[in-house]
Structure 1
Amino acid sequence: MKSYKNLIEAINDLRKRGYEEDLEIKDGKVNSVSSNFELHPEQFTIDEVYRFEGETNPDDSSVIYAISSQQGKNGIVVDAYGTYAENMTSDLASKLNRS
C-alpha cells in the first residue's frame, strides 16, 4: 500500500492507476456520479483505503476507497469519517469497515 501526503495526491495517483470513476455512497449502494450505474456491496471489492486527518480541525477528516467492480468499473469514493460520515446500510458499512 502506498503512502500519500494528502487527499489530492492520493486521488491523482489512483486515477493514473485506473480508478477513473467518481463514486458516491447513496441509499446503501455505491453509485457512479457520471456514468449512471450502481453497485451493491456484493458487487465490488475495496482494493485500497487511505485516511487523512484534517490539518487544523479533526472534524475535517476523510477517507478514500479505491473500488473495483465485477463489471470492470474502477473508481474512488471520498467520504468523511467520524461524526460526519455518510449514512449507509449495515451491509455497506460492514464492507467498508472491514477494509
Structure 2
Amino acid sequence: MGFAYDFNIHENEIVNDPSVHEVKHVYRYEGNSDPGDSAVVYGIKSTSGKKGVFVSGFSANTNSEAARVLNKICIEGSEQCKI
C-alpha cells in the first residue's frame, strides 16, 4: 500500500506540523499474556504525499509527543481511527 516512510525516525514532522498529516489506518496489537504488551500502528499520509507508519505503545502513559498528536488527530474526526 506504499506506507514505507518511517515516521518514528522523523516524528518531529508530526509534532511540528500536525495539520498536514492524516491518519489513514490504525491497527492495534495486544500481547498474549500481558496487557502492557500493546502497540498501535498508525498509517499516515501527509499532504506532501509521504505515506508511512508510526508505531507506539498503547497506554495512557505513552511518553511520545508524536503519539499524543496522532491520538488528538484521531479524536478530532478520522473514521479510520476507531480502534
By the TM > 0.5 criterion, same fold? yes
Q: How does the TM-score come out when normalised to structure 2?
A: 0.72
Gaps of 5+ in 1: 1-16, 32-37
Query: For the Cα contact (< 8 Å) 1:19–1:75, is it kept in 2?
Result: yes
> Identity rate of aligned residues, in percent?
30
Segments ≥4 residues shifted beyond 6 Å: none
Number of residue-to-residue matches in the alignment: 73
Residue in structure 2 matched with residue 87 of structure 1 by the alignment: 64
Counterpart in the other structure of 1:18 = 2
1:8-50, Cα deviation, whole Å (9 max, x unpaired): xxxxxxxxx1000111288xxx34xxxxxx2321011000101
Q: Is the 8 A contact 1:59 1:83 kept in 2?
A: no
Largest Rg, 1 or 2: 1
In structure 2, runs of 5+ residues without a counterpart are none
TM-score (norm 1): 0.61
Higher relative contact order (CA 8 A, sep 6+): 2
